[in-house]
Amino acid sequence: MVFMKVNFIENTPSAVKFKLSGVTTTFANSVRRAVLNSVPTFAVDKVTFYENTTSMFDEYISHRIGLVPLTTPEGYDEKDEILFNLEAEGPKTIYSRDLKETDKKVKVANENIPIMKLAEGQRLRVDCKAVLGTSMKNSKFQPCFVTYTSNDDESEFEFYIETFGQMPAKEILNRALDIIDEGLKATHKELK
């Protein structure tokens, strides 16, 4: 009988690298998919425009704002809505830091992401609503980049997880493993 073993190679807030041995390719892929698709994160899902005198369509600006990673602490659920507002007048470059949060725990993960440039006299005034979601709904909810490689005998896999900033990389892994565990328990209960 082969037992699963985990050996961490790198463990920083922004990335984890580890070897997982004694598992099948199917299991390794399940871990990868849970990390990518099942961990809920906050993202702006709705933008209300009050003023837009730029040459950009509302939908384009909404899309750009929706891709800004937001911190996702524990203790929130899918009913929670976090509001942000943005008001700017050109000439200036609007950065993610210009999105002002109403909840100090949920804020932009990286303040230096350029959203758009405003020319002289152009104005933008919007309110944004962030909700929890997973990348099964939309890729803007994806919390990280993850890859794995396998050695020749295909029972050892080297994983690399790099966060986009919503939460530490190890926390993403832990939340994904909890989701897998909950799914297995629910399946086990149904089988009984």
Query: What fold, for 5-39+143-191?
Result: Gyrase A; domain 2 (3.30.1360)
- d(C-alpha 173, C-alpha 39), whole Å: 9
pLDDT digits (tens, 9 = 90+) for 29-75: 999 999 999 999 999 999 999 999 999 999 999 999 999 999 999 99
Instruction: Give per-residue burial for 45-69: e unless 16+ CB within 10 Å, then b.
Output: bebeeeeeebebeeeebbebbbebb
On the CB side of 73, CA atoms within 13 Å amount to: 8
Backbone Cα Rg of the chain: 20
Q: Which CATH superfamily is domain 42-134 in?
A: DNA-directed RNA polymerase, insert domain (2.170.120.12)
- d(C-alpha 93, C-alpha 89), whole Å: 9
Give the global pTM.
0.91
Look at residue 66 in the predicted model and tell me its pLDDT: 97
Report residue 76 CA to chain centroid gap.
Answer: 14
- d(C-alpha 100, C-alpha 87), whole Å: 9
Q: How confident is the model at residue 2 (pLDDT cuts 50, 70, 90)?
A: low
> Smallest Cα–Cα separation from 148: which of 19, 34, 39?
19
- d(C-alpha 192, C-alpha 189), whole Å: 5
pLDDT digits (tens, 9 = 90+) for 81-115: 999 999 999 999 999 999 999 999 999 999 999 99
Q: Kindly tell me if the per-residue pLDDT of 157 is higher than 80.
A: yes
Structural domain boundaries in the chain: 5-39+143-191, 42-134
